[in-house]
């Protein structure tokens, strides 16, 4: 059976992969291959301050250990800045982006409701004149204006069903960082379109970001993939796995003597290694 299904795994090389990454990559590969489709790989390395070549090597090492295979060349975000700039230019020309000079402390002091782990931006610089002192700035999406232009939007999620997009829940997000010239939000929708991704498999922690991604897809006239936001893997303390928490890595599991074939077989059955469980 051959279909047009294309799934992807898109890690950032800011540390070694943990079990949650392996689980997500395995789900994405299996979904595509079960339908005779393609599984592609992308390295999301736009954060030059945290990404390291040795972590890119580690990604390949871990995926090979798990027995995962991908189709076609690996896309590398740091080589695609012109594509992200073109998308940003479109939004600027549409009058839907504005410069923001605020510091993190200023935003925290003025913000109200939280945006995940971050405060919701209060729109301080929307309509603000350039201070003219050369201070660095980022670009933010004027969410209300953008949503008004795009109109009502939905996306299809394998678990949540038909979801009504609510980009206002995230507010005027950064679409081009001061230090990177782009952001995760723009890069991911531009790259998913470029790689022909039809199904995005990723953790539930990124569900909220899809509200913004659906809006950007509409504004930039990009195709909207289906989504599968899977449950997260938690450790023995009930905390989700994260690089910033120094969660045990796949390399750690490998060094402990865990066999890759046994691990993969268990993950496919939804069975986690001792000390881990799904948040469901």
Q: In this predicted model, what pLDDT tens digit does every residue of 46-86 receive, in sequence order?
A: 998 899 999 999 999 999 999 999 999 999 999 999 999 99
Is residue 180 predicted with pLDDT exceeding 60? yes
Q: Report pLDDT for 57.
A: 98
Q: Report pLDDT for 107.
A: 83
216 located within any domain: yes
**What tokens appear for 257 in the block?**
């003597």
Is residue 112 predicted with pLDDT exceeding 70? no
206 located within any domain: yes
Q: Report pLDDT for 1.
A: 42
Q: Do residues 15 and 147 share a domain?
A: no
147 located within any domain: yes
Alpha helices by DSSP H, the chain = 19-34, 53-66, 81-93, 104-110, 143-150, 184-194, 209-219, 250-255, 260-268
Q: Report pLDDT for 120.
A: 85
- pLDDT greater at residue 219 or residue 114: 219
Q: Of 223, 253, 269, which residue sits at a domain end?
A: 223
60 located within any domain: yes
Q: List, for residues 5-15, the tens digit of each pLDDT value.
A: 999 999 999 99
Is residue 230 predicted with pLDDT exceeding 70? yes
Q: Do residues 99 and 201 share a domain?
A: yes
Is residue 170 predicted with pLDDT exceeding 60? yes
Question: 70-101 burial, b if ≥16 CB within 10 A, otherwise e?
Answer: beeeebbbeebeebbeebbeebeeeebbbbbb
DSSP state of 274: T
Q: What is the share, in percent, of the chain residues with pLDDT greater than 90?
A: 84
Mean pLDDT of 215-237: 97
Residues 6 or more apart whose Cβ sits within 8 Å of residue 129: none
**Average of per-residue pLDDT values in the chain:** 94
Q: List, for residues 28-51, the tens digit of each pLDDT value.
A: 999 999 999 999 999 999 998 899
Q: List, for residues 236-255, the tens digit of each pLDDT value.
A: 889 999 888 888 999 999 99
267 located within any domain: yes
Q: Do residues 132 and 254 share a domain?
A: no
Q: Do residues 237 and 107 share a domain?
A: no
Tell me the residue range of the domain where 130 lies: 80-223
Mean pLDDT of 213-223: 98
Supply the CATH number for residue 173's domain. Answer: 3.40.50.620
121 located within any domain: yes
Q: List, for residues 118-131, the tens digit of each pLDDT value.
A: 678 999 999 999 98
Q: Do residues 87 and 70 share a domain?
A: no
Q: Do residues 89 and 195 share a domain?
A: yes
CA within 13 Å, CB half, 87: 28
Is the Cβ–Cβ distance between 16 and 55 less than 8 Å? yes
1 located within any domain: no
Q: How many domains does the chain have?
A: 2
Categorize the per-residue pLDDT at 202 as very low, low, confident or very high, splitting at 50, 70 and 90.
very high
Q: Do residues 37 and 170 share a domain?
A: no
Q: Do residues 198 and 247 share a domain?
A: no
**What tokens appear for 190 in the block?**
């531009």
Q: Report pLDDT for 246.
A: 83
Q: Report pLDDT for 39.
A: 98
Q: Report pLDDT for 111.
A: 59
DSSP string, 19-64: HHHHHHHHHHHHHHHHTT-EEEEEE----TTT--HHHHHHHHHHHH
Q: Of 223, 245, 270, which residue sits at a domain end?
A: 223
Q: Do residues 90 and 71 share a domain?
A: no
Q: Do residues 94 and 24 share a domain?
A: no
Q: Do residues 48 and 17 share a domain?
A: yes
Is the Cβ–Cβ distance between 205 and 199 less than 8 Å? no
Q: How far is CA 188 from the centre of its chain?
A: 6
Is residue 114 predicted with pLDDT exceeding 60? no
DSSP state of 245: G
Q: How many helices (H) and strands (E) does the chain have?
A: 9, 14
Q: Report pLDDT for 218.
A: 98
Q: How far apart are alpha carbons 51 and 67 in whole angstroms?
A: 24
Q: Do residues 97 and 22 share a domain?
A: no
Residue 45: how many other CB atoms lie within 10 Å: 20
């Amino acid at each position: 059976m051959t279909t047009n299904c294309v799934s992807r795994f898109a890690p950032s090389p800011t540390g070694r992969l943990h079990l949650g990454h392996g689980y997500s990559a395995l789900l994405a590969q299996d979904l595509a291959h079960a339908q005779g489709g393609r599984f592609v790989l992308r390295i999301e390395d736009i954060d030059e301050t945290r990404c390291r070549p040795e972590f890119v090597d580690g990604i390949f090492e871990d995926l090979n250990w798990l027995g995962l295979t991908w189709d076609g060349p690996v896309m590398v975000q740091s080589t695609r800045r012109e594509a992200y700039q073109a998308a940003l230019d479109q939004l600027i020309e549409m009058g839907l982006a504005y410069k923001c000079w605020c510091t993190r402390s200023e935003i925290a002091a003025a913000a109200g409701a939280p945006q995940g782990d971050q405060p919701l931006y209060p729109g301080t610089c929307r309509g603000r004149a350039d201070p003219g002192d050369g201070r660095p700035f980022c670009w933010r999406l004027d969410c209300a204006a953008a949503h008004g232009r795009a109109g009502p939007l939905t996306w299809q999620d394998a678990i949540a069903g038909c979801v009504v997009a609510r980009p206002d829940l995230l507010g005027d997000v950064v679409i081009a960082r001061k230090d990177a010239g782009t952001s995760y939000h723009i890069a991911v929708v531009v790259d998913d379109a470029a790689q022909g991704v039809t199904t995005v498999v990723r953790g539930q922690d990124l569900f909220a970001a899809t509200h913004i991604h659906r809006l950007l897809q509409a504004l930039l006239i990009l195709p909207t993939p289906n989504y599968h936001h899977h449950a997260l893997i938690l450790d023995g303390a009930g905390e989700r796995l994260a690089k910033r928490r120094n969660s045990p890595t796949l390399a750690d599991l490998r060094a402990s003597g865990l066999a890759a074939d046994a691990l993969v077989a268990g993950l496919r059955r939804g069975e986690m290694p001792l000390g881990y469980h799904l948040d469901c």
